[in-house]
């Protein structure tokens, strides 16, 4: 069973997925570029899916989570506490961040420094969750995110991209997976990067972060009412990307008809 549903709507089986994909293959190349948002909890596969989907569509990739991670990293490097809302907001206002694909990797730069690996540690993950809970930080970064995604032709991934950052996005997805599967993926990801972490501790961190992200007062992590819900627990990365690409093509055709 392929578990992808419009928020509150029906589930689709593999045949439905193939039908959507077949429709996309018959569509004209010249279609209006749209904004694609992918939200969801940590470890659901958002980064991997967003990267491959952006490459498939020929779109730019905007990783909003990386922006918050960059603020957390900069704060730590400057000796600023992640609980200091005003100080972190000041850093966010002055943040000089950009993204660039090098091969298959979407590199993140703060100034001239490549922080792609530095922002992916467990420590910085927790720091990003803390700084993102500050309303002044979120306000400071909102304009940056919208500016980077202006004009469409972009895949945006994060936790509130379809509800707050790009509420009018034409194609919205909420990607999730079970906590145990997300913990397993996170441990494997860090192991591949040469870092060994405890599975039980990782599972607790994921559970704690889910609760913190979903209950914060400003921009909590929730699925947009018009988002498509995607459970990736039992799916391969390619299966998820194929299905999303087909659905995006349908939205592109609809957007092109509105021109």
pLDDT value, residue 1: 28
Nearest CA to 115 among 76, 61, 165, 154?
76
When pLDDT is cut at 50, 70 and 90, the band that residue 128 belongs to is very high
pLDDT value, residue 190: 86
- How far CA 123 is from CA of 90, 100, 127, in Å, comes to 21, 24, 6
pLDDT value, residue 30: 59
Separation of alpha carbons 178 and 184, rounded Å: 10
pLDDT value, residue 199: 95
pLDDT value, residue 216: 78
When pLDDT is cut at 50, 70 and 90, the band that residue 43 belongs to is confident
The predicted model gives 135-163 an average pLDDT of: 91
Q: Is 186:206 a contact under the CB 8 Å cutoff? A: yes
pLDDT value, residue 217: 76
- pLDDT tens profile 77-101: 999 999 999 999 999 999 999 988 8
Question: Please, how many CA atoms are within 13 Å of residue 100, restricted to the half-sphere of its CB?
Answer: 10
When pLDDT is cut at 50, 70 and 90, the band that residue 21 belongs to is very low
Domains and CATH numbers, the chain: 1-59+152-252 (3.40.50.300), 63-150 (3.40.50.300)
Sequence-separated (6 or more) residues with CB below 8 Å from residue 58: 153
Q: What is the mean pLDDT of the chain?
A: 85
The predicted model gives 39-46 an average pLDDT of: 88
For residues 157 and 8, which has the higher predicted lDDT (pLDDT)?
Answer: 157
When pLDDT is cut at 50, 70 and 90, the band that residue 15 belongs to is very low
pLDDT value, residue 28: 43
Q: Is 38:229 a contact under the CB 8 Å cutoff? A: no
For residues 258 and 35, which has the higher predicted lDDT (pLDDT)?
Answer: 35
For residues 215 and 251, which has the higher predicted lDDT (pLDDT)?
Answer: 251
pTM: 0.72
When pLDDT is cut at 50, 70 and 90, the band that residue 32 belongs to is confident
């Amino acid at each position: 069973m392929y578990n992808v549903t419009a928020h509150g709507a029906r589930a689709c089986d593999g045949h439905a997925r193939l039908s959507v994909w077949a429709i996309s293959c018959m569509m004209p190349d010249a279609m209006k570029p749209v904004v694609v948002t992918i939200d969801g909890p940590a470890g659901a596969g958002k980064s991997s899916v967003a990267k491959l989907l952006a490459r498939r569509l020929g779109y730019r990739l905007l990783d909003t989570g990386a922006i918050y991670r960059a603020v957390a990293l900069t704060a730590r490097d400057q000796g600023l506490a992640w609980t200091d809302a005003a100080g972190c907001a000041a850093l966010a206002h002055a943040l000089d961040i950009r993204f660039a694909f090098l091969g298959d990797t979407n590199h993140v730069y703060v100034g001239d420094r490549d922080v792609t690996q530095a922002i992916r540690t467990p420590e910085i993950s927790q720091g990003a969750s803390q700084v993102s809970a500050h309303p002044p930080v979120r306000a400071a970064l909102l304009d940056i995110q919208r500016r980077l995604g202006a004009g469409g032709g972009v895949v945006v991934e994060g936790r509130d991209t379809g509800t707050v950052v790009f509420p009018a996005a034409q194609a919205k997805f909420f990607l999730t997976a079970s906590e145990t599967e997300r913990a397993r993926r996170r441990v494997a990801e860090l192991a591949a990067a040469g870092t060994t972490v405890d599975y039980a501790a990782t599972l607790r961190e994921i559970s704690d972060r889910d609760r913190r992200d979903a209950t914060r007062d400003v921009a909590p992590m929730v699925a947009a009412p018009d988002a498509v819900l995607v459970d990736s627990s039992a799916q391969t990365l390619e299966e998820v990307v194929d299905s999303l690409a087909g659905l995006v093509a349908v939205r592109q055709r609809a957007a092109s008809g509105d021109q």
